[in-house]
């Protein structure tokens, strides 16, 4: 056994000795790319040296806020130099995504106390909370809002308002609009507002022109590279959360702009929650999205 | 002929493109050899070289003449290569457990009729996880613990991947000798 270990060490040393002094000149194009990169450092726009240089793209450019990435690596490098010890490498890409997400979480002005997605560490619990809320409801469409039939029956002028506070941030601005539609509906013939019946809620316009794909192929061929929700232009105030099978939030964005192009995520199945307001109604769509290259 | 220190100073002060090029010319071949060892394709190795040097040049001021400049650059290159590997799912450092034929003729001495380029080619053929671990341990000389931290895997995995990498290499070298 000891003999084997020694032989292995010897083997390693031999390889090391042979490989260590090896040099191979890169192609001349590399310097040009490097010079180009260095030029771009002063300006905020980064470009990828290779047309299909997905790695750099994912590493520097596509990071939603490149500064975050640079700062992260910079911190890493500072570590190496300040201490003689070799430290762990600067965290890979995933934390960058997280920090980008952190920045993507807007500090909503009228944020309710119940669901504060401000802090990414709470994000998981947010999702759990949403999931719980979901499980409590049989319907996919309405979510803890004043529009749900249940709440409608006992709707008094005060209660919807109280419920508004419980609503999710993304749609916190909605109550005014919702109340408006509510009152529109309440203009139904000779029925007093308090006597609204749930049946009137049934013909809610389904956003049929909304198409959410269930697969994307972020392989750089410009086809289905991004998670593109078609018909988004008809929605207002949307909020999307994308998470892994393990429930880890990897993307959270209000006013999603069809720009989630996960070129640094492994292939697999991810899940999304997509909340939006469509013709004054609040909807929630959830489902899976397969990432396949 | 300016020394490295003078060149570094020029780079920091004036962002001197000429000085940067001079430094690049001195070290690019060594650094590229490192990138080649970690990256499976030539193009990715070039990408790694470019990003690595970009960070070296932007962070030159943080190299405060502590230790060797080349060593500092090498560490950046290695860490850069690894984070690129980690960030790209194509090269996910997966622990693919492939069956390795038992050493049938366990030669762990290296014959003289193989050159560094061939060895590097063999290393590059290793699966990403094995390759990174072998590079880090055998060539860069990191410890198991450090590698485990860098790759975010546990020490047992480092050991087993290293063992398997070695076996594959030894088998390939034996084939090469025949």
Q: Which of A86, A91, A262, A270 to mutate to test the interface with B (most CBs of B within 10 A)?
A: A86
Among B20, B49, B83, pick the best mutation site for testing chain A contact (most A Cβ within 10 A): B83
The C-alpha atoms of residue B33 and residue A34 are separated, in whole angstroms, by: 17
Average pLDDT value for residue range A157-166: 44
CB contact under 8 A, A23 and B32: yes
Q: What percent of chain A has pLDDT over 90?
A: 0
Please tell me what DSSP assigns to residue B91: G
**Is the Cβ pair B79, A89 closer than 8 Å?**
yes
Q: How far apart are CA A227 and CA A288, in angstroms?
A: 11
Mean pLDDT of chain A: 62
Find out whether A167 and A161 touch, Cβ atoms under 8 Å: no
Residue A284 has pLDDT above 60, yes or no: yes
A184-198, A268-282, B24-38, B80-94: range with highest mean pLDDT: B24-38
Give the pLDDT confidence score for residue A142 in this predicted structure.
Answer: 43
Q: Which residue has the higher pLDDT, A27 or A192?
A: A27
Decide if A65 contacts A253 (C-beta within 8 A).
no
pLDDT in tens, B16-74: 788 888 888 888 899 999 999 888 888 888 989 999 998 888 888 888 777 788 888 88
Backbone angles phi, psi at A288, to 5 degrees: -110, 155
Taking CA–CA distances from B111, the nearest residue in chain A reads A14
How high is the pLDDT of residue A192?
Answer: 47
State yes or no: pLDDT of A241 exceeds 80.
Answer: yes
Q: Is A112's pLDDT higher than 70?
A: no
Higher pLDDT, residue A279 or A272: A272
Lowest-confidence range among A10-19, A52-61, A261-270? A52-61
Residues in A touching B55 (Cβ below 8 Å) = 73-74, 77
Q: What is the pLDDT of residue A165?
A: 43
What DSSP string describes chain A?
-HHHHHHHHHHHHHHHHHHHT---PPPTHHHHHHHHHHHHHHSS----SSTT-HHHIIIIISSSSHHHHHHHHHHHHHHHHHSSSPPPPPP-HHHHHHHHHHHHS---TT--SS--TTSGGGHHHHHHHHHHHHHT-S-SS--SSTTSHHHHHT--SHHHHHHHHHS-GGGTTTHHHHHHHHHHHTTSTT--GGG--GGGGS-PPP-TT-B--SEE--SSSSSS-SB--BTGGGEEEEEEEEE-TT--EEEEEES--S-B--TTS-SEEEEEEEEEEETTEEEEEEEEEEE--
Domains observed in chain B: 4-91 (1.10.1740.10), 116-177 (1.10.10.10)
- The pLDDT of residue B83 is above 80: yes
Predicted local distance difference test score (pLDDT) of residue B19: 85
Residue B144 scores a pLDDT above 60: yes
Specify the range with the lowest mean pLDDT, choosing from A189-203, B22-36, B85-99: A189-203
Quote the pLDDT of residue A90.
45
Whether the per-residue pLDDT at A56 is higher than 60: the answer is: no
When pLDDT is cut at 50, 70 and 90, the band that residue A75 belongs to is low
Each residue's pLDDT tens digit, B149-159: 888 888 888 88
- A103: closest CA among A129, A136, A64, A75? A64
The predicted pLDDT at position A259 comes to: 83
What helix, strand, coil percent values describe chain B, rounded to 5? 70, 0, 30
What pLDDT is stored for residue A183 in this prediction?
Answer: 47
Confidence of residue A181 (pLDDT cuts 50, 70, 90): very low
Contact A33 B89 (CB under 8 A): no
Chain B segment 85-124 residues within 8 A of A by beta carbon are 86-90, 92, 108-110, 114-117, 119-120, 123
- Mean pLDDT for chain B? 81
Taking residues A61-75, what's their average pLDDT? 47
Going edge to edge, which strands form the sheet with A249-254? Answer: A215-216, A281-291, A268-278, A235-243, A249-254
The residue among A5, A11, A63, A91 with the most chain B CBs within 10 A of its CB, best to mutate, is A11
CA-CA distance, A204 to A268, in Å (whole number)? 34
ipTM greater than 0.85, yes or no?
no
């Amino acid at each position: 056994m000891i003999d084997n270990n020694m032989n292995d060490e010897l083997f390693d040393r031999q390889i090391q000795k042979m490989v260590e002094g090896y040099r191979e000149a890169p192609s001349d194009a590399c310097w040009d790319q490097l010079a180009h990169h260095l030029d771009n450092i002063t300006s905020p726009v980064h470009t990828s040296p290779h047309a299909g240089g997905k790695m750099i793209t994912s590493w520097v450019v596509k990071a939603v806020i490149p500064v975050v990435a640079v700062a992260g690596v910079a911190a890493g490098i500072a570590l190496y130099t300040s201490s003689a010890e070799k430290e762990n490498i600067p965290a890979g890409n995933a934390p960058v995504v997280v920090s980008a997400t952190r920045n993507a979480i807007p500090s909503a002005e009228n944020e309710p106390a119940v669901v504060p997605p401000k802090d990414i560490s709470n994000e998981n619990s947010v999702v759990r909370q949403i999931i719980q809320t979901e499980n409590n409801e049989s319907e996919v469409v309405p979510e803890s809002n004043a529009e749900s039939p249940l709440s409608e029956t006992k709707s008094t002028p005060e209660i919807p308002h109280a419920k508004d506070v419980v609503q999710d941030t993304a749609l916190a601005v909605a109550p005014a609009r919702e109340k408006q539609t509510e009152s529109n509906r309440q203009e139904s013939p000779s029925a007093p507002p308090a006597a609204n019946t749930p049946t009137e809620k049934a013909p809610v316009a389904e956003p049929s022109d909304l198409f959410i794909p269930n697969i994307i192929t972020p392989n750089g061929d410009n086809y289905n590279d991004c998670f593109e929700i078609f018909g988004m232009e008809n929605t207002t105030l949307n909020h999307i959360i994308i998470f892994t099978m393990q429930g880890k939030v990897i993307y959270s964005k209000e006013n999603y702009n069809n720009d989630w192009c996960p070129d640094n995520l492994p292939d697999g199945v991810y899940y999304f929650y997509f909340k939006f307001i469509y013709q004054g109604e609040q909807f929630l769509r959830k489902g899976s999205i397969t990432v396949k290259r | 002929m300016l020394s490295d220190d003078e060149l570094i100073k020029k780079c920091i002060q004036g962002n001197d493109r000429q000085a940067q090029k001079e430094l690049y010319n001195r070290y690019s071949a060594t650094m590229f050899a490192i990138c080649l060892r970690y990256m499976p394709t030539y193009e990715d190795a070039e990408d790694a070289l470019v990003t690595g040097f970009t960070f070296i040049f932007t962070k030159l001021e943080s190299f405060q003449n502590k230790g060797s400049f080349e060593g500092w650059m090498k560490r950046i290159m290695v860490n850069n290569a690894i984070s690129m590997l980690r960030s790209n799912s194509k090269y996910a450092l997966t622990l693919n457990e492939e069956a390795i034929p038992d050493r049938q003729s366990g030669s762990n001495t290296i014959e003289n009729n193989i050159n560094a380029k061939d060895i590097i080619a063999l290393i590059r053929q290793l699966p990403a996880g094995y390759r990174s671990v072998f590079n880090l341990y055998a060539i860069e000389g990191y410890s198991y613990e450090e590698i485990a931290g860098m790759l975010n895997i546990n020490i047992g995995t480092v050991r087993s991947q290293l063992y398997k990498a070695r076996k594959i290499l030894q088998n390939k070298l034996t084939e090469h000798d025949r």
